[in-house]
Amino acid sequence: MAVAGSASDKLLGVREGFLRYFHDGLDRPVPVVVVPHPEAEAGHGGLVYSDEETLILARQRAYRLRSSLGETYHFYAGVEGGLHSIEIENQTHYFVHSWAVLLGVAGEAWGSSGSIEIPGRLIEGLEDHQVPLSVPGTRRRGGLISSLTGHLETRRSAVAQATLHALSTLFYGILESRPVRRR
Protein backbone atom coordinates (compact mmCIF):
# COMPACT_ATOMS: atom_id res chain seq x y z
CA MET A 1 0.00 0.00 0.00
CA ALA A 2 1.11 3.53 -0.67
CA VAL A 3 0.98 6.06 2.16
CA ALA A 4 1.15 9.80 1.66
CA GLY A 5 4.04 11.00 3.80
CA SER A 6 7.14 9.59 5.39
CA ALA A 7 6.56 10.08 9.12
CA SER A 8 7.23 6.80 10.89
CA ASP A 9 4.18 7.12 13.15
CA LYS A 10 1.92 7.33 10.08
CA LEU A 11 3.63 4.49 8.23
CA LEU A 12 3.79 2.14 11.19
CA GLY A 13 0.27 3.06 12.30
CA VAL A 14 -1.18 2.25 8.86
CA ARG A 15 0.76 -1.03 8.87
CA GLU A 16 -0.54 -1.94 12.34
CA GLY A 17 -4.12 -1.16 11.29
CA PHE A 18 -3.82 -3.47 8.27
CA LEU A 19 -2.18 -6.23 10.29
CA ARG A 20 -4.83 -6.03 12.98
CA TYR A 21 -7.65 -6.15 10.45
CA PHE A 22 -6.32 -8.98 8.30
CA HIS A 23 -4.32 -11.05 10.80
CA ASP A 24 -6.37 -10.65 13.97
CA GLY A 25 -9.80 -9.91 12.54
CA LEU A 26 -9.89 -12.21 9.54
CA ASP A 27 -7.20 -14.69 10.55
CA ARG A 28 -5.63 -14.27 7.12
CA PRO A 29 -1.85 -14.04 7.08
CA VAL A 30 -1.40 -11.56 4.24
CA PRO A 31 1.85 -9.72 3.60
CA VAL A 32 1.60 -6.04 4.43
CA VAL A 33 4.08 -3.71 2.77
CA VAL A 34 3.85 0.02 3.39
CA VAL A 35 5.59 2.26 0.89
CA PRO A 36 6.14 5.88 1.92
CA HIS A 37 5.56 8.62 -0.60
CA PRO A 38 6.94 11.82 0.91
CA GLU A 39 5.18 15.04 0.17
CA ALA A 40 5.28 18.48 1.66
CA GLU A 41 3.45 18.69 4.97
CA ALA A 42 0.67 21.22 5.29
CA GLY A 43 2.01 24.66 6.10
CA HIS A 44 -0.59 25.50 8.74
CA GLY A 45 1.89 25.45 11.66
CA GLY A 46 -0.26 23.23 13.86
CA LEU A 47 -3.17 20.84 13.78
CA VAL A 48 -5.86 21.27 11.15
CA TYR A 49 -8.78 22.95 12.86
CA SER A 50 -11.84 20.95 11.85
CA ASP A 51 -12.83 17.41 10.91
CA GLU A 52 -13.87 18.71 7.50
CA GLU A 53 -10.46 20.30 6.84
CA THR A 54 -8.65 17.22 8.15
CA LEU A 55 -10.65 14.85 5.95
CA ILE A 56 -10.27 17.06 2.89
CA LEU A 57 -6.49 17.09 3.38
CA ALA A 58 -6.28 13.31 3.93
CA ARG A 59 -8.50 12.63 0.88
CA GLN A 60 -6.47 15.00 -1.30
CA ARG A 61 -3.27 13.21 -0.35
CA ALA A 62 -4.72 9.75 -1.04
CA TYR A 63 -6.17 10.84 -4.39
CA ARG A 64 -2.91 12.55 -5.42
CA LEU A 65 -1.06 9.31 -4.73
CA ARG A 66 -3.46 7.23 -6.78
CA SER A 67 -3.44 9.80 -9.55
CA SER A 68 0.35 9.89 -9.76
CA LEU A 69 0.94 6.14 -9.26
CA GLY A 70 -1.98 4.69 -11.21
CA GLU A 71 -2.90 1.12 -10.30
CA THR A 72 0.55 0.28 -8.91
CA TYR A 73 -0.76 -0.45 -5.39
CA HIS A 74 -3.84 -2.14 -3.95
CA PHE A 75 -4.38 0.67 -1.43
CA TYR A 76 -3.63 4.37 -1.16
CA ALA A 77 -3.76 6.02 2.26
CA GLY A 78 -3.94 9.60 3.43
CA VAL A 79 -3.71 10.07 7.20
CA GLU A 80 -3.99 13.30 9.14
CA GLY A 81 -4.36 14.38 12.74
CA GLY A 82 -6.76 17.16 13.47
CA LEU A 83 -8.55 19.23 16.03
CA HIS A 84 -12.28 19.67 16.32
CA SER A 85 -14.46 21.62 18.67
CA ILE A 86 -17.89 21.22 20.20
CA GLU A 87 -19.76 24.01 21.92
CA ILE A 88 -21.99 23.02 24.82
CA GLU A 89 -23.63 25.53 27.17
CA ASN A 90 -21.58 28.40 25.72
CA GLN A 91 -18.30 26.62 26.42
CA THR A 92 -16.10 25.29 23.63
CA HIS A 93 -14.42 21.93 24.12
CA TYR A 94 -11.51 20.96 21.87
CA PHE A 95 -10.63 17.40 20.88
CA VAL A 96 -7.80 15.83 18.91
CA HIS A 97 -7.92 12.65 16.84
CA SER A 98 -6.66 11.10 13.61
CA TRP A 99 -8.45 10.42 10.34
CA ALA A 100 -7.49 7.84 7.72
CA VAL A 101 -8.79 7.83 4.15
CA LEU A 102 -8.24 4.63 2.19
CA LEU A 103 -8.70 4.15 -1.53
CA GLY A 104 -8.71 0.57 -2.74
CA VAL A 105 -10.22 -1.94 -5.09
CA ALA A 106 -13.45 -1.92 -3.05
CA GLY A 107 -13.78 1.88 -3.16
CA GLU A 108 -13.13 4.64 -0.63
CA ALA A 109 -13.56 4.58 3.13
CA TRP A 110 -12.81 6.85 6.06
CA GLY A 111 -11.97 5.97 9.64
CA SER A 112 -11.21 7.91 12.78
CA SER A 113 -9.43 7.22 16.03
CA GLY A 114 -11.01 8.05 19.35
CA SER A 115 -11.13 11.69 20.38
CA ILE A 116 -9.19 13.04 23.34
CA GLU A 117 -10.23 16.34 24.91
CA ILE A 118 -7.59 18.98 25.41
CA PRO A 119 -7.92 20.11 29.04
CA GLY A 120 -9.46 23.56 29.27
CA ARG A 121 -6.70 24.82 31.55
CA LEU A 122 -4.15 24.33 28.76
CA ILE A 123 -5.98 26.60 26.34
CA GLU A 124 -7.75 28.98 28.71
CA GLY A 125 -7.82 32.53 27.38
CA LEU A 126 -6.79 31.63 23.85
CA GLU A 127 -8.70 32.64 20.76
CA ASP A 128 -10.03 29.81 18.56
CA HIS A 129 -7.35 30.38 15.92
CA GLN A 130 -4.58 30.14 18.56
CA VAL A 131 -5.59 26.71 19.90
CA PRO A 132 -4.06 24.58 17.09
CA LEU A 133 -0.69 26.29 17.60
CA SER A 134 -0.51 25.91 21.37
CA VAL A 135 -1.20 22.27 22.13
CA PRO A 136 1.49 20.20 23.94
CA GLY A 137 3.37 17.24 22.54
CA THR A 138 6.46 16.41 20.53
CA ARG A 139 6.98 14.09 17.59
CA ARG A 140 9.60 12.02 19.41
CA ARG A 141 7.37 11.39 22.40
CA GLY A 142 4.28 10.25 20.46
CA GLY A 143 2.74 13.66 19.89
CA LEU A 144 -0.19 15.36 21.52
CA ILE A 145 -2.16 12.15 22.02
CA SER A 146 0.74 10.65 23.96
CA SER A 147 1.10 13.79 26.04
CA LEU A 148 -2.59 13.86 26.93
CA THR A 149 -2.83 10.13 27.76
CA GLY A 150 0.34 9.89 29.83
CA HIS A 151 1.97 7.86 27.01
CA LEU A 152 -0.73 5.15 27.09
CA GLU A 153 -1.71 6.01 23.50
CA THR A 154 0.38 7.59 20.74
CA ARG A 155 -0.09 9.18 17.36
CA ARG A 156 0.90 5.80 15.91
CA SER A 157 -1.82 3.92 17.82
CA ALA A 158 -4.38 6.57 16.78
CA VAL A 159 -3.39 6.12 13.13
CA ALA A 160 -3.66 2.33 13.54
CA GLN A 161 -7.17 2.65 14.99
CA ALA A 162 -8.28 5.07 12.26
CA THR A 163 -6.90 2.70 9.60
CA LEU A 164 -8.64 -0.30 11.18
CA HIS A 165 -11.92 1.62 11.21
CA ALA A 166 -11.53 2.64 7.56
CA LEU A 167 -10.77 -0.98 6.56
CA SER A 168 -13.79 -2.21 8.51
CA THR A 169 -15.99 0.20 6.56
CA LEU A 170 -14.34 -0.59 3.24
CA PHE A 171 -14.86 -4.34 3.56
CA TYR A 172 -18.12 -4.40 5.50
CA GLY A 173 -20.34 -7.05 3.92
CA ILE A 174 -17.51 -8.16 1.65
CA LEU A 175 -15.12 -9.90 4.04
CA GLU A 176 -16.46 -11.65 7.12
CA SER A 177 -14.61 -10.95 10.34
CA ARG A 178 -13.80 -13.91 12.56
CA PRO A 179 -11.81 -12.61 15.51
CA VAL A 180 -9.85 -15.59 16.73
CA ARG A 181 -7.12 -13.88 18.70
CA ARG A 182 -7.59 -11.67 21.70
CA ARG A 183 -5.32 -8.69 22.13
What is the pTM (predicted TM-score) of this model?
Answer: 0.85
Give the total number of structural domains in the chain.
1
DSSP H/E element including 161: helix 155-170
Which domain does 41 fall in, by range?
2-170
pLDDT for 125: 76
- When comparing pLDDT for 96 and 42, which is higher? 96
- CATH number at 119 reads 3.90.950.10
Is residue 17 situated within a structural domain?
yes
Cβ 84 vs Cβ 94: under 8 Å: yes
Is residue 96 situated within a structural domain?
yes
